[in-house]
Amino acid sequence: GVISWIVQDSFITSFLPYFQTLEQLDSLLLEHLFFKSTGDVHMIEADVLLRGGKGGNGEPIMAHPPETDSDNTLQEWLKEIVSTNKGIKLDFKSLEAVRPSLQLLEHVKQHLRRPVWINADILPGPNGKNSVVDAEGFLDTVTSFFPDVTLSLGWTTGWHPDKHNKGYDWMMVKEMAQICSALPQHVTFPVRAALVRQSISELCWLMQQSDRYSLTVWTGKEDVYSVEDLLYIRENFDKSRVYYDILEPQNSEFKKAIGVE
């Protein structure tokens, strides 16, 4: 979908260090704002592309490929979102959409008192068929506007119900580590829930490379995975460094299993 929700399963204070705001707010102010937040959703994610699709020169809109048009513009969405207590994650499918979108974000940054993540799939991953966003161009553009923002850097992936799906291999995680090693920002790696269990060694190694790193566990609409898979992830990583972007019914079942309802 165009918009999804991200939650974190441990106490709010424990994940504050892994967010960066657009402006350097002290932790007390940030903590106060998160405790005021209603419900258990901490961030709202939006897919952004240019009207007309890749190579399009239209305005930034809220849409997910293969759609190339929408009545929902990023400008209107940002205007609404600044009045909430939710963090923002902007997910870019093309490099062309990044600069005009960050220009819009810059116009509202004085009103933002919550975390902002900027996401793109910059490397090919397991079964990944979609084109990647150029890593150097993406990082240069984002840091030129917001040098302190949290970067969400992922791999293109696929999942097939009728065959064994390989996970993230050593080449994939080491290439990502090389790209991120010189970055001063906090980085979260979006990883597909159905592919994590077979990639524990590789992803544990990646997380050990810096305390600035975290994981965001997400799911595809048709993916088959169990609550046991989510619990296995939770047992193998520092809980304060894992975020969840998962669908029902697994979301409710997972929260029940860990005693958060």
pLDDT at site 38? 35
Q: What percent of the chain has pLDDT over 70?
A: 81
Residue 225 predicted with pLDDT over 50: yes
| Chain segment 5-14, per-residue pLDDT in tens | 555 543 322 2
Q: What is the pLDDT of residue 8?
A: 53
pLDDT above 50: residue 2: no
Which of 6-15, 110-119, 223-232, 246-255 comes out lowest in average pLDDT? 6-15
DSSP per position, the chain: --EEEEEESS-HHHHGGG--BSS---HHHHHHHHHH--SS--EEEEEEEETTSTT--S-EEE--TT----S-BHHHHHHHHTTSS-EEEEEESSGGGHHHHHHHHHHHGGG--SBEEEEEEEEE-TT--SPPPPHHHHHHHHHHH-TTSEEEEEEE----TTSPPP---HHHHHHHHHHHTT--S-EEEEEEHHHHGGGHHHHHHHHHT-TTEEEEEE--TT----HHHHHHHHHHS-GGGEEEE--TTHHHHHHHHTT--
Top-confidence residue, 12 or 86: 86
Question: How many whole angstroms separate alpha carbon 225 and alpha carbon 235?
Answer: 16
pLDDT bracket for residue 98 (50, 70, 90): very high
Averaged pLDDT for residues 177-188: 96
Per-residue pLDDT at 54: 58
In this prediction, residue 72 has a pLDDT band, given cuts at 50, 70 and 90, of confident
Is the pLDDT at 53 greater than 90, yes or no? no
170 has a pLDDT exceeding 70: yes
**In which band, very low, low, confident or very high, does the pLDDT at 160 lie, cut at 50, 70 and 90?**
very high
Q: How confident is the model over 21-25, as a mean pLDDT?
A: 31
* Ranges 36-50, 75-89, 134-148, 212-226: which has the least confidence: 36-50
Confidence check: pLDDT of 3 > 80 = no
Query: What structural domains does the chain harbor?
Result: 3-257 (3.20.20)
- Lowest mean per-residue pLDDT among 66-80, 132-146, 240-254: 66-80
83 pLDDT band (50/70/90 cuts)?
Answer: confident
